[in-house]
Amino acid sequence: MTTSTTTDIHQRSAVRHAWEEHHELILALFSGILILIAYAFEKVNVPTTAYVTLYLSAYLIGGYAKAKEGLTETYHDKTLNVELLMILAAIGAAAIGYWMEGAILIFIFALSGALETYTMNKNERALQSLMSLQPEEATRLNAEGKMEVVSLERLSVGDIVYVRPGERIPVDGTIIRGQAAIEEASITGESIPVEKQVGDTVYNSTVNMNGVLTIEMTKAADESLFQKIIHMVQNAQSEQSPSAQFIERFESRYVKIVLLVVALMMIVPHYLVGWSFETSIYRAMILLVVASPCALVASITPAALSAIAASARNGVLFKGGAHIETLGQVDTIVFDKTGTLTTGKPVVTESHYADGIDSFAVKQAVASIEAQSNHPLAQAIVTHLKTDLIEPSAFKDVTGFGIEATVSGTTYRIGKYGFHEGLADPFASMEQSLKEQGNTMVYVSNGQSIIALYALRDTIRPEAKAAITSLNSLGITTIMLTGDNPVTAAAIAKEAGLSDYVAECLPEDKVRYIKQYQTEGKTVAMVGDGINDAPALALAHVGIAMGEGTDAALETADVVLMKNDLGRLAYAVNKARKMNRVVKQNITLAISVIVLLIISNFSQFLIMPFAVVGHEGSTILVILNGLRLLQKDTPVHHVPTPFSKQGPCFTPPAA
């Protein structure tokens, strides 16, 4: 194939693509040109047939797409719609000799329709750009250890995939060889690479920045996390908000009322106020135009789709327009503690050793003994000590108390205070203070006295305090419901800056408290890990899951924060509130314009061209206003909010 032939094919393909994407706009603009030519012919006294033919051509070319859409919907749904009103208005204008006015109506209606289609296509392109991140092929290591490039459809769970630096990872899987920095923006919205090594999970569509990785595939291609995100965004774009559903139900009834009023207006004013039949019909046609709820219908859906698309790019996934609308109305957010406000992993906050002992020997012994246990506290102590290990002997796990073992001839006990009953405690003076800070104590003794103390605590997430401050500054009440003890709960709540908290909550207690808040008239969101808090997430007006790429979070909640970053919660609330403000602005503008134009029409002040421009112009304005939600939001300024309780606010659950 020659170069010129290839170029011709590419050019034809580009033209075909441009036509498919912009044909409504092209036809609308072409009809506008025909109107200008027809108007010029009319002014220079060209025969009537010539310019009427041009006007009629403008009708057909500009109105074809919307007329087809309106008639098809009317036929399938057996309901009337705004497109039908516009068709009737244009035909009515032509019937009484107002060819130019009818053609202008069709032109601007087609133009606003093309703009609305552009909005939908823009959101569709956002989804397509997301889908384009997924690789179509993978380099697989076959049974002979040789590399072969295969399509994703040919891969199955257990296959070994080879990924070079700079390539996108084609599967969800576990690293079995190599390490690299992985850019996970397609999953979490976060562009800063995350270091991954052997044993870590990696996801389809993320980018291997700098290492050679060998990955074992753990999920089928169509069940990958990335595919589930795409399905969520697709479903969210098809699910309407309550306001949009109301407008859709309202549209059919409203159109019937308009048609009835228009029919009456053609006749009644002639007898009541002495209008001529021509004036009555003309005013009826204008009423048909200005009373059409085009702008009202376009007030919500483009705005909701724009907000959902923008949020998805920032790692916040909404399962539908209903949830983003409701989140914008939330005034109370309830948090789980472990894994939500805190990291869910205990760390050693303080360590103390008795005077006169060999602290290095004690550290080595404690680390060696605790390394034999899988308990989270034991693993946290081993991580904290970071010392060489030696093999303990006479290892004994005493259920409910701790561990006893011998290292280098000395027998150590590690565990609760009761495990060291009767021994001297050199740390008694500091224990109460450590407990009030929410710490759990682990004691070490050598048979004669307690020789070491480790204070451990589940620490709050680095971004939690700023996120809670942002939410408080938005006027949202922030409450923690936790199964932890009152002392630890109070410490975490005060450190995070929460408005309130309730300790010692079982899952059923969390459900009961959410019901109580809802009974008090509050709009409640629940933030949890998507698994343990499933009942509370389901009951709340909006369930928000801390994603971290978990399938359970995607299935459980209405909203998913794809990275466990509470800062995105304040972003989501702001985006939802902004969408609700835009929708209110749009509805107010649409109704105001309709009322103003109807009053002007009855006063005989309004002429058809101005009616068309006013009505269709408002439609274009509300669509453009909705598109603003695609823009990047400015960060929320954090305003410090003091902890609202001066003392413990523990509320014991009802029996």
Which strand (E) or helix (H) includes residue 456? Answer: strand 450-460
* Displacement of CA 285 from its chain's centroid (Å): 44
Contact 96, 278 (CB under 8 A): yes
Structure tokens belonging to residue 362: 């004690």
The Cα–Cα gap between 525 and 542 comes to: 5
Please say if 172 is a catalytic residue. no
Contact 442, 415 (CB under 8 A): yes
Structure tokens belonging to residue 114: 């093309």
How far CA 304 is from CA of 238, 328, 469, in Å, comes to 10, 12, 27
> What letter represents residue 154's amino acid?
R
Structure tokens belonging to residue 248: 């859709």
The Cα–Cα gap between 600 and 607 comes to: 9
Helices (H) and strands (E) in the chain, counts: 22, 22
11, exposed or middle or buried, with CB in 10 Å at 0-12, 13-18, 19+?
A: exposed
The Cα–Cα gap between 569 and 547 comes to: 12
Phi/psi of residue 284, each to 5°?
-65, -40
Specify the pairing of strand 477-481 against strand 332-335.
Answer: parallel
The Cα–Cα gap between 580 and 625 comes to: 12
Marked catalytic residue, from 336, 484, 529, 558: 336
The Cα–Cα gap between 482 and 490 comes to: 10
Who's near 428: CB < 8 A, 6+ residues apart? none
The Cα–Cα gap between 221 and 155 comes to: 8
Residue reference for tokens 């805190």: 342
Q: Is 23 helix (H, G, I), strand (E, B) or coil?
A: helix
The Cα–Cα gap between 224 and 118 comes to: 31
How far CA 475 is from CA of 272, 329, 577, in Å, comes to 56, 11, 12
How far CA 259 is from CA of 263, 278, 291, in Å, comes to 6, 18, 10
Please count the other Cβ atoms lying within 10 Å of the Cβ belonging to residue 250: 13
Contact 433, 420 (CB under 8 A): no
The Cα–Cα gap between 597 and 612 comes to: 10
Contact 415, 452 (CB under 8 A): no
Whether the CA torsion 145, 149, 154, 155 is positive or negative: it is positive
The Cα–Cα gap between 534 and 63 comes to: 50
Structure tokens belonging to residue 313: 């790019």
How does 539-558 read in b/e, with b if 16+ C-beta sit within 10 Å?
bbbbbbbbbbbbeebbebbb
What are the DSSP E strand ranges found in 447-598? 450-460, 477-481, 500-502, 524-528, 542-546, 559-561
> What letter represents residue 488's amino acid?
T
Which strand (E) or helix (H) includes residue 440? Answer: strand 440-445
145, exposed or middle or buried, with CB in 10 Å at 0-12, 13-18, 19+?
A: exposed
Query: Shortest CA distance to 160 belongs to which of 222, 228, 214, 210?
Result: 214
Active site members? 336
